[in-house]
A and B are shown apart, each in its own frame.
Chain A
Amino acid sequence: MKKTAKILALVLALCMVIACFAACNNATEDPTNASDDAATDVVTDEATEGSSEDASEDATAADVALDYSDIKVGFIFLHAPTDSTYDKNFMNAVEEVQANLGLSDDQVIVMSNIPESSECYEAAMDLVDEGCNIIFGDSFGHEPYLMQAAQECPDVQFCHATGDDANTANIANYHNAFASIYEGRYVAGIVAGMKINEMIADGKITADQAKMGYVGAFPYAEVISGYTSFYLGAKSVCPTVTMDVKYTNSWFDIDAERTQAIALIESGCVLISQHADSEGAPKACEEYKVPNVAYNVNTSDMGPTTALISSKINWAPYMTYMINCVASGEEIVADWCGGFAEGSVELTELNTDVAAEGTQEAIDAAVKAFKEGTLHVYDTATFTVNGETLTSYMADVVPDANYEGDTEVIVDGHFAESEFRSAPYFNIIIDGITAVTE
């Protein structure tokens, strides 16, 4: 008994000694490493700062160079950018903006894995404690908690992606932002329609077999607006096309997206698109050799022979805008919506191996028309609801408990999406689309 106790003590002591040595080694190695790192850091920092300043001076020579030294931005992400492509899209924008404006790592704090609960409020307040003067939340459900924090901290600007309350909440330092992504989806729809036309021309399908499938998230305005614009884009080049929609009832669920995509393919859909940005649907399409239009990420590596194109929201223009507003002392608008012109809506590179001939030209023409404002996605002349043309529609723009329509959104012959508020409110199932709610 005593002997084993001694042995145990000896083993433990030995472990300690080894651990100490390890620690000592670290200690002796570290200073040099650290100083090396620090030195290179400074150099690269200076380099990027220098170049970005040059760039901004070149770009806006007339503007007074803004001073960003007092800026400190806090970002609240729903998941970790390494785990979720949704948050990754925001993180890419953060890194781009940070490099462009020459902000140091101390000026940009990113908090990941913040759930849509009072944890979000706590995270926002923690960022305020850290001295942030702009706080940005990336998920719809963060909204009430950011508003709560905004009311308590009137000197800090709170910006929220995809929310819909800022217009009516009357909180001066609380702002919403979105992008007119339906325009991007419309252009992606044109790409899909041309692909289907090619299939018809090649005799692979007949014109009345032209059915697309769409894997939606929830039966929610953002999703309905998205797939309707995609459908209308396809219909603008392929008049006989129809579309089936199936929901996963989750914003991100790789398995469910895969299952629904396969179910759609097996029910005769010849092309698939999806609301979410997981790999579920693109990979299923590659297995079944069915063309796919994706969202937010370039999927051509997942589906080299099936991926066509993706529409994408780029958050960098808005982030730059909000930081510039604070740096120059201007007000941030309550509700911001960026499109092709602002650079908020983008398309990933067209996969020319899969796309039909002449697609790139059609894309360029549509994007040009959107930038000039001559093209409207929801032109009432291009679709019907229950067989009739839409002449009047009261949309639920102002949030209320009963989801009552409050604003006439048919303006000059088109449904004015995102004009009364940045978050989408188009929630009509139009003819040609069959939405299966389970």
Chain B
Amino acid sequence: MSHVAPHSEPLVRLSKRDVMPAWQGILVRIIGVLLGVALSSLFIVLVTDLNPAEVFTSLFDGCFGSPRRIWNLFQNTAILLCIALAVTPAYKMKFWNIGAEGQVLMGAAATAACMIYFGNGINQWLLIPIMVISSLFAGMVWGMIPAFFKAHFNTNETLFTLMMNYVATQIVAFLITYWENPKGSNSVGVINASTKAGWLPYLFDKQYLINIIIVVALTAVMYVYLKYSKHGYEISVVGESENTARYIGINVKKVILRTMALSGALCGLAGLLLVSGTTHTISTNTAGGRGFTAILVSWLAKFNPAVMMLTSFLIVFFERGAAQIATNFRMNESLADIITGIILFFIIGSEFFLNYKLNFRHKHKEEA
């Protein structure tokens, strides 16, 4: 068998696709979602005997069924988006920061500490700036520790940031036993319930409006920062190739540290919004896995802050809708998780087909 068989080419071969027109890209994604919906409907019918139409109605009902649910939907979107915006600069730089969960928790802990220790002594207008500074600082420190070791000793940032999450969780667990109220309950309770000291103000009587406004503003700023600022450009170059960056005179260490400081600080801000603007308490679940979901949000949007508004909305939409499905049909979250999983799979799948094409083996071989 010395001669190479001309048909040794595999049946299907992948190759990178040229850029598609935008409308085609959108169409493929829509088809992807529809296929996901179809498959999950099939699943619902086969496995649960429920009417898929009712299940999907519950999905929408859980998100848009009442003004309160709509507020909750946008509030949760805002928090997830905030963390996604925070991790984006690092990811764009190809710094695999999976430590957002811990950075958010540290920001949350700093906020809670300010509320507990300064809540009664200091004027509200002074307290909130102090809380903002300390939460940003706490998140920043937690982000910069792995960045420092990466920049100077080239440690693996994925492992490092991941482990920093566990350290942060344990610190918060310790603080909870330290601050717990009532004693032995292992929870902090509502901080400053009577004085509301350190609670972000309710704009127009709506608790979550201020969070939403802050995050929308942050989205705009981040868009400009990444796209038009010198820093944004440096981040892209370091992400593409560190050697190129060095060649054109970018101080790579400085960029890594600066970007992770920014990333961590914004995670700290998310912690502030969660404690001071939302729950008014702290627990080890305050971040609630959003630090990881945010990575998905950021990647799905290809690090574009404007698109992230859409992807974070989509994720939260399924999450909230899924909870409603569980309530309406007295099931646990598993059914809803499966539906969300199927649809996400199709969305990610359509990204694959947008980037790659399948080449089938050619049968005719006239040249031979």
Contact = CB atoms under 8 A, between A and B. Distances in A.
Nearest to A251: B186
A7 B285 contact: no
Contact of B35 (A4, A19, A164): A19
Given A112-B327, A122-B72, A30 B51 contact: yes
A118 B279 CA distance: 5
Interface in A134-149: 140-141, 144-145, 148
A129 interface: yes
Identify which of B283, B327, B360 gathers the most chain A CB atoms within 10 Å of its CB.
B327
A109 interface: yes
B230 interface: no
Nearest to A37: B49
B38 A19 contact: yes
Range, interface on chain A: 35 or more
B333 A403 contact: no
B185 A220 contact: yes
Interface stretch (B39-47, B99-107, B235-243): B39-47
Interface residues of B, number: 48
A168 interface: no
A110 B333 CA distance: 13
A26 interface: yes
Interface stretch (A8-16, A62-70, A387-395): A8-16
Interface string B64-92: 00101100100000000000000000000
A196 B256 CA distance: 66
A403 B31 contact: no
A82 interface: yes
B280 interface: yes
Given A16-B31, A22-B42, A26-B45, A141 B187 contact: yes
Nearest to A19: B38
A122 B327 CA distance: 14
Nearest to B189: A144
B281 A113 contact: no
Given A4-B360, A80-B333, A126-B68, A221 B18 contact: no
B121 interface: no
Given A7-B360, A122-B68, A129-B66, A113 B185 contact: no
Contacts of A4: 357-360
B18 A23 contact: no
B184 A83 contact: no
B332 interface: yes
Nearest to B187: A141
B51 A34 contact: yes
A1 B42 CA distance: 33
B68 A129 contact: yes
A420 B181 CA distance: 21
Nearest to A110: B330
A317 interface: no
Identify which of B49, B72, B182, B278 gathers the most chain A CB atoms within 10 Å of its CB.
B182
11 contacts: A1-B357, A4-B357, A8-B357, A82-B331, A113-B332, A113-B333, A122-B68, A141-B187, A218-B185, A219-B184, A403-B183
Given A20-B38, A23-B38, A249-B186, 12 more contacts: A8-B353, A26-B52, A30-B45, A33-B49, A80-B332, A82-B331, A82-B332, A112-B327, A112-B333, A117-B283, A122-B72, A140-B187
Interface of B: 18, 28, 31, 34-35, 38-39, 41-42, 45, 49, 51-52, 66, 68-69, 72, 181-187, 189-190, 193, 278-281, 283, 285-286, 288, 323, 326-327, 330-334, 353, 357-360
